[in-house]
Amino acid sequence: MTLHSSLKLGGPADYFCRPKNRDELLLLVKICRDNDIPWMILGGGANILVADRGIRGLVIHTADLNRIERHGNTMIVEAGCDVSQASLFAMNHELQGLQWIYRMPGSLGGAIWMNARCYGSEISQILQWVEILTTQGKIERQPFDPGQWAYKKSPYQQQDLVILGAALTLGPGDKKTLQWEMKEIEADRIHKGHFKKPSAGSTFKNDRTFGAPSGKIIDLCGLRGISQGGAAVSSWHGNILINQDSATSADFLALIKKVQQEVLDQKGFLLEPEVLTVGDWG
C-alpha cells in the first residue's frame, strides 16, 4: 500500500483490484458482501494512514472510474476522478467553482466523503446530487441536503456505502482568469511545502473554536520539527506531518498522538486528525 498512499506508508493488502468500469466495481462489492469478505474503497490515497500490517480483505481502487461529462454549467464526475483533473476540465470548459481544489491530492469521491475544504471553499457548496451504491445494492441519486453537511463532515462518513459520482453546479468563467487563479493556488501549495516530503497534507482539522489554525497552535507549542522514529512535524509548517523516508505507520500514529497530547497539555485543545487510520492495527 506504500504505492497507493500519499504518505508512502503501509503494508500489503490481501487482495487489490482496479475495476475498469462501474459494472466491475458493482460486481466486486457484491462478491465481498455476499461472502463476508472485508473490503474498502480506495481513491487517491491522500488522507489515509495504512497499518504496517497492511489491509485484510480486498482494496478496490477506483482510479479508472474517472469519466467527466458537461451539461451546461453542470459537471457530472465519477468518484475515481482526480480532483485536479476535474478542476482542469472545468477551466478548459470555462466553468468556475473548482479552481480552489487544484493540486489538492485525492479523488472526487474522497473529497465528497470528507467534504474537502480549502481557500474558503468546500465541495458541498457546489454539489447538486451524489450517486451512491446502497447497502442493499441499489444505485441512488441523493439530492444535496445542506442540513447533513458541516465543516469536514458529510453524511457518508457513518454509512457502509459507495460513492459512485456526483453532479457539480458551477458557473461561467473566463479561462485565462481561471488559469491564473489555479497557478496562484498551486504556487501557494508549493510555498507551504505540501510536496516536499510524503505527507497527507494537513494532518489535523482546523477547529475554528480554537482561535487559530492548527498549524499556528502547534507552532506556539514549540512542536515544529519534532520527530518520532522516521516521522516528523515538518520544519516549514506545523500542521504538515511528514514521512522522512524511513517512517513506519506506527511512527506516524505515535507522532500524531504526541502532538495531540502536547497541545492538550499546553493549550487545552484536543486536535482532531483529518488522517484516517485503516487496515490491521493489531
Which residues are catalytic, by number?
Answer: 202, 274
Q: What's the rounded Cα separation, in Å, for the pair 248 and 52?
A: 7
Radius of gyration of the chain (CA): 19
Q: What's the rounded Cα separation, in Å, for the pair 47 and 277?
A: 9
> With contact defined as beta carbons under 8 Å apart, do 144 and 128 qualify?
yes
DSSP codes joined into one string, 144-209: P-GGG-BTTB-TTTTS--EEEEEEEE-EE--HHHHHHHHHHHHHHHHHTTTTSSSB-S--B---GG
Question: Phi and psi at residue 129, in whole multiples of 5°?
Answer: -155, 160
Q: What's the rounded Cα separation, in Å, for the pair 185 and 224?
A: 24
Query: Which amino acid, residue 105?
Result: P
> With contact defined as beta carbons under 8 Å apart, do 174 and 99 qualify?
no
